[in-house]
Structure 1
Amino acid sequence: MSTTRSPRRTRPAIVVALVAATVALIGVGTAVAGTPAAQAFRDQPLVAGTPCTVTARACVDLDTQRSWLFTDGKITHGPVPVAIGGPGKETPVGHSLRVYRKEQLHKSGEYTMTNGEPAPMPWAVFFQDGGIAFHEGRTDTPSAGCVRLTPENAKLWFDTLQIGDQVQVVSAKQVQADRAAG
């Protein structure tokens, strides 16, 4: 008696559901061109002098490596210099990211210092899966994907941003091109 099975055929509906779920997971917090989220981002007015919309509470421009805080569509602080992710560890773009955790004395679970201790990430405000956060650190060298701020700005971002606040991380050049294309 043979124990081998004949190959199973994948049902088209299952494939479609798996692809849709994968795309949804990949697109969490981001707006891909042509999606309803991207259109919603384009439909909102920008905060004057920034590449982010009036719905955001915090904005990061990857092109100029600057960040702002907003209240009711108006700049309350910034622009301030930030460090963003370098090659291979880019800071992820997102139009509708949300603050989901804050930790004043966070230590990295991924990176260590030369003495083997976990790298400190003071004033961490997490807004993207994978541990991407605003936090205190050097602003003159690339990060591993996080948005690093000076100590005083990291504390201000920590004190200002609340769980659920919208964060937008964008390329000003891409925003301008997308809006010009309509």
Structure 2
Amino acid sequence: MKLSTNQSWLMDNGKVVYGPVPITHGRKGYATPPGSFRVQFKNKNHKSSIFNNAPMPWSVFFNGGIAFHQGSLREKSHGCIHLSPAAAQKFFGSLAVGDVVEVVR
């Protein structure tokens, strides 16, 4: 994903297979860190244990508590990557534990 353009996409063997799709990411004080990560786990009906049980549907965690998930495309997050409902479901269905996630500025 590219934070500076608020876009993300799915790739397979170096080719874009879905996207780019719009995203929002971490607000001031909760920046989404750039780097290369691996998908750690997935949870279709996750609720935040840190932010008042906030719903995080279609969560794909790749950096500790940071995940792709369905969320507002108008408001910035607490570090997660917000996707539209359709994109969140596509990312959830396409990404597997161990897959590489690249976050660039």
Given the alignment of the two structures, is residue 144 of structure 1 paired with residue 39 of structure 2, yes or no?
Answer: no
Paired residue secondary structure (2:25): coil
Scaled by the length of structure 1, the TM-score of the pair is: 0.57
- Which residue, out of 9, 13, 17, partners 1:72? 13
Given the alignment of the two structures, is residue 128 of structure 1 paired with residue 63 of structure 2, yes or no?
Answer: yes
Larger radius of gyration: 1
Q: CA RMSD in A?
A: 0.6
TM-superposed CA distance for 1:160, in Å, is 0.1
Letter in 2 for 1:111: F
Q: Unaligned 5+ residue runs, structure 1?
A: 1-59, 113-117, 172-182
Scaled by the length of structure 2, the TM-score of the pair is: 0.98
Paired residue secondary structure (1:85): coil
Letter in 2 for 1:90: A
Q: Which residue of 2 aligns with 1:109?
A: 49
Question: Aligned equivalents of 1:164 and 1:105: distance in 2?
Answer: 20
Given the alignment of the two structures, is residue 99 of structure 1 paired with residue 39 of structure 2, yes or no?
Answer: yes
Q: Work out the number of aligned pairs and report it.
A: 105
TM-superposed CA distance for 1:140, in Å, is 1.0
Paired residue secondary structure (1:78): strand
Which protein, 1 or 2, shows the higher relative CO under an 8 Å CA cutoff with sep ≥ 6? 2
Question: Aligned equivalents of 1:133 and 1:124: distance in 2?
Answer: 6
Deviations 1:134-161 (A, max 9, x none): 0001011100000010001000000000
Paired residue secondary structure (1:106): strand
Identity among equivalent positions (%) equals 48
Deviations 1:116-141 (A, max 9, x none): xx100000000002x10000010111
Q: Which runs of 4+ in 1 moved over 3 A?
A: none
Deviations 1:52-101 (A, max 9, x none): xxxxxxxx10100100100110000111000100100001111x200010
Q: Unaligned 5+ residue runs, structure 2?
A: none
- Which residue, out of 84, 93, 97, partners 1:159? 93
Question: Aligned equivalents of 2:23 and 2:74: distance in 1?
Answer: 8
Q: Which residue of 2 aligns with 1:3?
A: none
Letter in 1 for 2:71: G
